[in-house]
Amino acid sequence: MIPAAFEYARASSVDEASKLLSKFGEDAKVLAGGHSLIPLMRLRLAQPTALVDINGIQELDHITERGGKLHVGALTRHVTIQNSSVVQEKLPLLAEVAGEVGDNQVRNMGTMGGVIAHADSAGDYPTLAVILDAEIVTNKRTIPAKDFFKDLFTTALGPDEVVTEVVFPVANGPHKYVKFRRRLFDWAIVGVAAQKLNGGWRIGLTNVGPTPVRATAVEKALHDGATPEDASQHASDGLDPAGDLRASPEYKKHLARVLTKRAIQQAQGQ
Amino acid sequence: MAVTQLVGSKIHRREDPRLITGHGHYIDDFTRQGTAYAAFVRSPLAHARIKSIDVTDASKAPGVTGVYTARDFKSLLAGTHPAAPAFVAEKKFVPERFPIAEKEVCYQGEIVAAVLAETKAQAADAAGLIQVEYDELPAVMDLEKALEKNSPKSHTDGPDNVCWDFTYTGPDITEAAFKEADVVVKERILQNRLAPVPMEPRGVLAEFEGFDKKLTIWMSSQNPHFIRLFVSGAMGLKESQVRVISPDVGGGFGSKISPYPEDYLVPTLSRLAERPVKWIETRTESIQNATHGRGQFYDCEVAAKKDGTLLGMRVVQYLDVGAYHGTFGAFQPVACLMAGGAYKWKGISARTVGVLTNRVPTDPYRGAGRPEATHLVERMVDLVALELKMDPVDIRRKNFIQPKDFPFTQSFGLVVDSGDYDKALDKALEHAGYAELRKKQAELRKQGRYMGIGFSTWIELCGFGPSAATAPATGGIALVESAQVRVTPTGSVLVYTGTHSHGQGHETTFPQIVADQLGVPYESVELRHGDTAEGTAFGYGTYGSRSLAVGGVAISRAVGKVIDKSKKLAAHMLEAAEEDVVFEHGAFHVKGSPDKSKAFGEVAFASYGMSLPEGMEQGLEAVAYFDPPNLVWPFGTHIAVVEIDAETGTPLITKYVAVDDCGNIINPMIVDGQIHGGIVQAIGQALYEEVVYDDDSGQLKTGTMIDYMLPSANEIPTMIIDKTITPSPTNELGVKGIGEAGTIAASAAVINAICDALSPLGIKHVDMPATPDRLWKMMKEARQ
């Protein structure tokens, strides 16, 4: 289909981007990789009045490690994250996840900032951000991940606020992301992230609710010495997933348990 | 005969360089000066009365040149959307159909208004401003409920929801068989509704020249001449006033055969607006409005002896016609006539029920009835084998029609022309390593893993078709095929075919045949198709795996006529008697004096000169129409090996073998390509695809490529492809068709493999699509 009419402006700095967003009003949207936004616009499910293109803001495309933290710029493409030796060394779970996003075209265009700000419940990075207590840095403030994701497609960002980077802890212990989908390039039907950090496990679930779910009951069971098999039974505790064409709620809860077990086992196997 | 044999060679496709470098000519590549763009307003509801249409805002929108509703078209269009008898001789109720709804809409997507604007975007925006008020009516969605006594009606002015209820052979035919049976197996088998999803969606560009009353239509079609026939008739024009051009077509799979509402509306809009009008559908419009495939279920019983001899089958097909009868929508009941498969039966009782619903119509989709037949019979044979604890290979061999039985008259009087089913099966078993597979299965079962092996020993009928059968089926036009061959003074050979490739590679394969037959360079032969202003008076199109078996033979016969005339002229030039002249390696020579010869090119040039034999006219061209004496009957064996994840229910095809027989082969690379594509579409149906509507509201839920789940290359295993060659006795080229074979064969192989994998759990039958969620549920329940 053809998108509804919109205005367009290219920002050359974060400051300019913020000013443009203010100017165009709350129905303006930031355009980075565009691979979530443009399909929505073509179906007219999203009809932003203006697009503020931030692809020219080079300083947002970076990966740096300092002081035990991995700083990933908002404009960093998935393919860059996937192939970065810094990420592979300091937070290999992130490199693994980046390599499984969409397909080649999506990985060449899609960005860290875009996935975080779009907050699709099937997005993979938000799950990592939540379980690793990452911080989302904007042009105005720093927001802890657990306070950032409010609801499906809804974050704490204000109308003229732009994500500039996401800060993760360094973690290179046992890790695994299990992404269950029908086709290689699909969104996760259910995803499970497992990361050993500071002696304890962090377990997160993708697409079992409107926002990422941290499987604290599983983490506790593992802490108390349960086997992956037994601990993973708690993965569906408190879950009330919506059913859709790909999976019934019942099946999603079942997958949560099975995939959690597999994620922990495969992480341990490293 | 040529020195180098082109027929049988893997020549790279002539079409490909232009198609893969952006030099193809698809509908959207054409522009005409002054074109206005059309957008259609479609009903968002499956069934409703139209209360009012307010076009005020739309009429004032930027760039809009006109807004149109049904009454603008009433005096300009009549007799649209013919309903061919096809395989159902009597219909009970065929709802009247007009391309744009006036009082009642009967499927989501039905057109209620049209907008013309200067740009595509302006037309889309203006369409959004048209306000239509609807009174929602109950939507008929379920086939069984639709047949109940007090069911809401798909059309409020219809008697009920029965489009047809036709019995081919009554239950009395199988009474004896069922009486003597040792086992009777019964099953209901579903055929999920599918969207064809051609890579190129539909489009129409029409230019009506009012002064001369001439109409040119560019559209993406599988059969331009039929469109000329239908559209000219409906618009009150002569066929000679209408030219239809279908250039490169990016796939059809059956969805570009029948005339659509837009095919009538766009030319009429051009007439009304007095300028060219262009419309290209979006992907969502395509999934929603292009005719769908399958959409059936079958109630089937099979009677057999305890030694595995098949005795009789009783089958009732329930078919979702949709809201209207697709022009060739009654083709799918051929599934009943093919329900016997590769086997000998004492008798088959078959009945077809066409049910009207509030969905877009169904029409032929790759295989059109034969995939359904194969799926049905191969599932039932496996169920009998399971009941009798017999190897699925053994029961098939026991019942195969044998080589010595051909030509074989099957249960419905159709004559199967040739076959060697055991040979294909043997080859497939060897490729699969069958004995090893069963060993592996036994080991994996001990480990609690679910591995299955599934067979599909398919046969089919294609190459439509003999005039005696097809003329009544279409309502008068025999589906023969035409060809015109023209040789120019310098030896260019132009071949005009009435078929129309939409991915089949005819520009490559037909010149292979002609170049070999004439002994001329391949490069000197050009194939032309798709333009009703060129070539023969009528062409019949490409569908039903007919182009080679009917069109290719017509071409060969036209070439034969050219050779006949050339021979006469060559004899004259060689001053020899015609019977003393031999045509060989592209030249004519006198028997016994090979150095006394004239090359074909020399003869061609001479045909335009002055020294011709008495009574011979200048020129070198010929027309041939080929009426095949029978359909043709390809066959083969597919074997699928599947493992199902014990915890998640995910099916994974770990091995796929296909051994297929399409008679003599023109280009093996193209045949392999057809088989690959066909298998992928069947895997799509078996494991992934389904057009899903909300049961109550009739809302389409799978309107985009995210939700309508086509498998990608990543999901398809590497296939082992091989062939046997059993030339067809039906035509002198010995060829059959292969375009639909992969789709006909594969869904049964995959589902049979899944059922075999799950049989330790007591699961006997699995319906399509066999998604992980569904399999997991079945396995969970079975374990309890």
| Residue B720 token pair | 């082992």
Is B125 near chain A, with CB under 8 Å? Answer: yes
How far, in Å, CA of B771 to CA of A116, rounded? 30
Cβ B712–A2 below 8 Å, yes or no?
no
Q: Residue B119: closest CA among chain A residues belongs to which residue?
A: A2
Strand-pair partners of B486: B494, B621
Q: What is the pLDDT of residues B151-170, one digit of tens each?
A: 999 999 999 999 999 999 99
- Decide if B777 touches A, using CB distance below 8 A: yes
What gap in Å lies between CA B281 and CA B276, rounded to an integer? Answer: 17
Poorest-pLDDT segment among B332-341, B390-399, B664-673, B690-699? B690-699
Q: Provide the shortest C-alpha distance from residue B542 to chain A (in Å).
A: 29
Phi/psi of residue B594, nearest 5 degrees: -60, -25
Which residues does residue B481 pair with via DSSP β-bridges, in sequence order? B626
Q: Which of B236, B79, B232, B200 is nearest to B538 (CA)?
A: B232
C-alpha angle A122-A124-A125 in degrees, rounded to nearest 5: 130
Residue A1 banded pLDDT, cuts 50, 70, 90: confident
Q: Which residues pair with B450 in a beta bridge?
A: B644
Partner-chain residue, chosen from B128, B692, B712, that has the shortest CB–CB distance to A185? B712
φ/ψ (deg, to 5) at B310 = -80, 135
Q: For residue B731, count CB atoms less than 10 angstroms from its CB and return exposed for 0-12, middle for 13-18, buried for 19 or more.
A: buried
Structure-token pair, residue B637: 């064996």
Tokens 């008798």 belong to which residue? B347
Burial class (CB in 10 A: 0-12, 13-18, 19+), B159: exposed
* pLDDT, averaged across chain A: 97
CB within 8 Å: A185 and B125: no
Paired with B655 in beta bridges are: B641
What is the average per-residue pLDDT within B122-136?
A: 97
pLDDT of residue A2: 87
User: Cβ separation of A182 and B712 shorter than 8 Å?
Assistant: no
Q: So what's the pLDDT on residue B696?
A: 83
Q: Both tokens of residue A20?
A: 């443009």
Is B240 near chain A, with CB under 8 Å?
A: no
Closest approach of B757 to chain A, Cα-based (Å) = 20
Q: How confident is the model at residue B471 (pLDDT cuts 50, 70, 90)?
A: very high
Architecture of domain B31-137+199-251+256-289: Alpha-Beta Complex (3.90)
Q: How far is B115 from chain A (nearest CA, A)?
A: 15
Put simply, the answer to whether B125 touches A246 (Cβ < 8 Å) is no
For B63, other C-beta atoms within 10 Å of its C-beta total 17
Asked whether the beta carbons of residue B648 and residue A2 sit closer than 8 angstroms, the reply is no
Interface test with B, best of A1, A44, A250, A266 (most B CBs within 10 A): A1
Average pLDDT over residues B109-136: 97
pLDDT of B12 above 80 = yes
Contacts of B712 in chain A (CB under 8 A): 183-185
The mean per-residue pLDDT over the stretch B443-447 comes to 98
Name the residue type at position A63. I
Tokens of A196: 């050993």
User: For B259, left (φ over 0), alpha (ψ -120 to 50), or beta?
Assistant: beta
CB-based contact (8 Å) between A43 and chain B?
yes
Mean pLDDT calculated for residue range B437-462: 98
- Tens of pLDDT, residues B501-516: 999 999 999 999 999 9
Q: What pLDDT, in 10s, does the model give residues B173-198?
A: 999 999 999 999 999 999 999 999 99
Residues of chain B contacting residue A250, judged by C-beta atoms under 8 Å apart? 777
Which two structure tokens, joined as six digits, stand for B623?
């027309």
* Common-topology check for domains B2-21+479-626 and B296-463+630-783: yes
Measure the CA–CA gap between B678 and B458, rounded to whole angstroms: 13
Fold of B296-463+630-783: Aldehyde Oxidoreductase; domain 4 (3.30.365)
SS3 assignment, position B392: helix
Q: What is the mean pLDDT of residues A134-163?
A: 97
**Other residues' Cβ atoms within 10 Å of the Cβ of residue B541:** 27
* Residues whose CB falls within 8 Å of the CB of residue B372, separated by 6 or more in sequence, listed in order: B191, B294, B296, B298, B317, B332, B335
Q: At what angle do helices B392-399 and B421-432 cross, to 10 degrees?
A: 160
CB B293 within 8 A of CB B52: no
- CA nearest to B121 within chain A: A2
pLDDT at A242: 95
> Are residues B146 and B698 in contact, defined by beta-carbon separation less than 8 angstroms?
no
CA B27 – CA B245 distance, rounded (Å)? 9
- How many Å apart are CA B518 and CA B161, to the nearest integer? 56
Angle between helices B668-683 and B741-758 (to 10 degrees): 50
- On the question of pLDDT at A169 being above 90, the answer is yes
Pairing state between β B347-356 and B408-409? unpaired
- Cα A11 to Cα A20, A74, B33, B376: the distances in Å are 8, 14, 38, 61
CA atoms within 13 A on the CB side of A80: 15
Quick one: DSSP state of residue B575? T
Q: Does B389 have pLDDT greater than 80?
A: yes
DSSP state of A60: G
% of chain B surpassing 90 pLDDT: 97
Whole-angstrom Cα distance, residue B105 to residue B98?
11
Q: Is B184 on the interface with A (CB under 8 A)?
A: no
B472 touches chain A (CB under 8 A): no
pLDDT band of B3, cuts 50, 70, 90: very low
Predicted confidence (pLDDT) per residue in B209-249, tens digit? 999 899 999 999 999 999 999 999 999 999 999 999 999 99
3-state class of B290 per DSSP? coil
> Is B702 touching A (CB cutoff 8 A)?
yes
Question: Between β-strands B621-626 and B481-487, what pairing exists: parallel, antiparallel or unpaired?
Answer: antiparallel
Taking Cα atoms as reference points, which of B186, B58, B203 lies closest to residue B116?
B58
Could you give the angle at the alpha carbon of B763 between the alpha carbons of B761 and B769, nearest 5°? 125
Q: Is B704 touching A (CB cutoff 8 A)? A: yes
Of B398, B401, B423, B402, nearest to B305 (Cα)? B398
CA distance A261 to chain B (A): 11
Whether B183 and B306 have beta carbons less than 8 Å apart is answered as yes
**A245–B692 C-beta distance less than 8 A:** yes
What whole-number distance in Å separates Cα of residue B264 and Cα of residue B257? 14
By C-alpha distance, the chain A residue nearest B647 is A258
What residue spans of B325-420 are helical by DSSP H? 334-337, 370-388, 392-399
- Buried residues in A14-51 as b, exposed as e (16+ CB within 10 A): bebbbebbeebeeebbbbbbbbbbeebbbbeebebebb
Nearest to B388 by CA among B301, B302, B304: B304
Nearest to B701 among A182, A184, A245 (CB): A245
Integer Cα distance of A201 and A225 in angstroms: 11
What type of residue is B646?
A: A
pLDDT at B1: 43
How sure is the predictor about B67, in pLDDT bands with cuts at 50, 70 and 90? very high
**Residues B525/B514, Cβ–Cβ less than 8 Å:** yes
Average pLDDT over every residue of B669-684: 97
Q: Which of B118, B773, B774 to mutate to test the interface with A (most CBs of A within 10 A)?
A: B773
Residue A246 sits at the chain B interface (C-beta within 8 Å): yes
Strands B203-209, B183-191: pairing kind = unpaired
The average confidence (pLDDT) of chain B is: 97
Answer whether A255 sits within 8 Å of B648, measured CB to CB: yes
Question: Least CA distance to A187: which residue of chain B?
Answer: B706
Q: Which fold has domain B2-21+479-626?
A: Aldehyde Oxidoreductase; domain 4 (3.30.365)
Query: Do B282 and A183 make contact, defined as CB atoms within 8 angstroms?
Result: no
Query: DSSP label at B661?
Result: E
Query: pLDDT, tens digit, for every residue of B475-509?
Result: 999 999 999 999 999 999 999 999 999 999 999 99
Q: How far is B681 from chain A (nearest CA, A)?
A: 15
CB distance B626 to B691 below 8 Å? no
- Cβ contacts (< 8 Å) between A5 and chain B: which residues? 121, 125
In this predicted structure, the answer to whether residue B2 has a pLDDT above a threshold of 90 is no
Of the candidates B398, B397, B417, the one whose C-alpha atom is nearest the C-alpha of residue B406 is B417
The percentage of chain B sitting over the pLDDT mark of 70, rounded to a whole number, equals 99
Judged against a pLDDT cut of 50, whether residue B556 lies above it is answered with yes
SS3 string, B30-55, reads: CCCCCCEEEEEEECCCCCEEEEEEEC
DSSP bridge partners of B280: B203
Nearest to B381, CA basis, from B370, B366, B391: B391
Distance CA(B675)–CA(B88), nearest Å, equals: 30
pLDDT digits (tens, 9 = 90+) for A53-67: 999 999 999 999 999
Q: Are strands A63-66 and B162-169 parallel, antiparallel or unpaired?
A: unpaired
| Record: contact B711-A247, CB cut-off 8 A | no
Chain B: give the shortest CA distance to residue A49, in Å: 14
Shortest distance, CA B343 to any CA of chain A (angstroms): 36
Cβ contacts (< 8 Å) between B702 and chain A: which residues? 245
Structural contact between residues B309 and B398, judged by C-beta atoms closer than 8 angstroms: yes
Nearest CA in chain B to A251: B773
Task: Answer for the pair B431, B659: CB distance below 8 angstroms, yes or no.
Answer: yes
Q: Cβ–Cβ contacts within 10 Å for residue B167, how many?
A: 13
Residue B684 carries which side chain, given as an amino acid letter?
Answer: G
Per-residue model confidence (pLDDT) at position B701: 96
Cis peptide before B407 (omega within 30 of 0): yes
Helix (H, G, I), strand (E, B) or coil at B563: helix
Residue contact A254–B776, C-beta within 8 A: yes
Cβ separation A2–B704 shorter than 8 A: no
Contact B688 A182 (CB under 8 A): yes
What's the confidence (pLDDT) of residue B4? 58
Taking a C-beta distance cutoff of 8 angstroms, is the pair A163, A86 a contact? no
With contacts defined as CB-CB under 8 Å, which chain B residues touch A1?
A: 124, 282, 284
Q: Could you count the other beta carbons within 10 Å of the beta carbon of residue B335?
A: 29
Cis? peptide before B769, omega within 30° of 0: yes
Q: List the single residue in A245, A247, A251 with the smallest CB-CB distance to B707.
A: A245
Q: Which chain B residue lies closest to A186 (C-alpha atoms)? A: B706
CB contact under 8 A, A1 and B125: no
Instruction: Search chain B and give the residue with CA nearest A42.
Output: B282
Q: Which of A240, A242, A237 is nearest to A220 (CA)?
A: A237
CA distance A255 to chain B (A): 7
Tell me the whole-structure pTM to 2 decimals: 0.97
**Banded model confidence at residue B324, pLDDT cuts 50, 70, 90:** very high
Q: Is A4 on the interface with B (CB under 8 A)?
A: yes
- Banded model confidence at residue A264, pLDDT cuts 50, 70, 90: very high
Confidence of residue B683 (pLDDT cuts 50, 70, 90): very high
Contact A182 B282 (CB under 8 A): no
- Contact status of A86 with chain B (Cβ, < 8 Å): no
Domain limits, chain B: 2-21+479-626, 31-137+199-251+256-289, 296-463+630-783
Check residue B594 and give its pLDDT: 87
Q: What is the pLDDT of residues B742-753, one digit of tens each?
A: 999 999 999 999
Q: Within an 8 Å CB–CB cutoff, is residue B119 touching chain A?
A: no
Q: Give chain B positions within 8 Å (CB) of A257.
A: none
Backbone angles phi, psi at B728, to 5 degrees: -80, 135
